[in-house]
Structure 1
């Protein structure tokens, strides 16, 4: 996988421009993945109330799509992290546009997050898992920095929804846009192995919506 694609390529902002435009994103998600995004945008709009009293890690933050639900006075801490400096620049611009002055920004590799164990109450990871070269390691890092009882909420593209969707995934992997893409069952296994329980999954075409709670002791080293 060409990880430099996500570190520096300005082409990554194309995804960001699409996802920011709800109507366009819903059309593209249906055409590419057979997925319906209406409930996802409702979840994003509700993030402000979820984050009101929580320390939040948003990784990968992309261009700040999750900011749409945040309030100016949200929570004790909100960290937006991404490997791509291009995405972080766009996220900073989006935060400024929305008057969100409290957000911390960090250029970070999700496989080696620069935070101590049990730092955050909530981790949101939208549309990132399928782009990571090593999703199990990424999920384990998210678990490590979450406190016991903390939640992971996210979305990912998965294999097995249909031949057309799997072909689009294969092409994205060939181009270096996607990393290791799993099936829904594999994602469930990654989460369980990382110490997450109370797994809640919903499939819409090739898009998986997931929630999980970090168990009391994940055995970090």
Structure 2
């Protein structure tokens, strides 16, 4: 099951890799990157040896590289790593290492890193519990664990995962903030602080980034339109701005301390 899911992740994100360098398609990721870096700021140190888990194109790694000693950006999809390496070279970033690997089975010894971060990965993971446990395992005692991800608000009507999977078949499950806190605690880490924010996103760039097939994209548009007209809830909290369909994601920033 996990192997099959990993194959889907590699297939879908190989298609999407080039889009992550396109500001028009990737605005939601880049717009809130500064917010995440500010959230991480108290934990960053020039002596830090950092691991970014499921790093994608290493947006976080590249953003903090000048603030730490070294960052390892690990991801399952070679095309995403290659895109990130091209950007790092273009930006003159020399202290980021790009490594292919599985977030649920990290190829590192216990207590290796002084800060471990993952962004927008748990909702894609077949086994988010394993990912968090691995993050904690490779962290030195007292190291910061930073998780930034989509979360499902309590009491949300509809099933956002169904729409998310229509858009991207490698999507897993959007967890609640409480569930993420439980995973962190179960991994032996202590929750320190959290922050969440609702983000309204335009629909069309989101569909274009994932290269969603036309029939699936049209179904998503139709279901969001139906909800706005009083139809069933999709869980995507649609709205219309300047005549264009939008939807709402909730982002969580979560800081824990490794045991």
Report the TM-score, using the length of structure 2 for normalisation: 0.68
1:68 and 2:63 correspond? yes
CA contact (8 A) 2:185 2:191 kept: no
Q: Give the whole-Å Cα distance in 2 for the aligned partners of 1:90 and 1:52.
A: 26
Which residue in 2 is equivalent to 1:157? 150
| Aligned equivalent of 1:170, options 162, 175, 188 | 162
1:195 to 1:173, Cα distance in 2 relative to 1, 3 A: farther
Any stretches of 5+ residues in structure 2 without a counterpart? 199-249
The answer (yes or no) to whether the contact 1:5–1:12 under 8 Å persists in 2 is: no
Q: 2:255 aligns with which of 175, 196, 211?
A: 211
Note if 1:53 corresponds to 2:56.
Answer: no
Q: How many residues align?
A: 201
Counterpart in the other structure of 1:12: 16
CA distance in 2, matches of 1:134, 1:214: 20
Partner of 1:105: 98
Larger radius of gyration: 2
Q: Residue 6 of structure 2: which of 3, 17, 42 is its match?
A: 3
TM-score of the pair, normalised by structure 1: 0.79
Cross-structure match for 2:185: 192
Contact 1:61–1:80 (Cα < 8 Å) also in 2? yes
**1 CA distance for matches of 2:38 and 2:193?**
20
**CA distance in 2 between partners of 1:59 and 1:15 (Å):** 20
Q: Helix, strand or coil for the counterpart of 2:71?
A: strand
Unmatched segments (≥5 aa) in structure 1: 30-36, 216-221
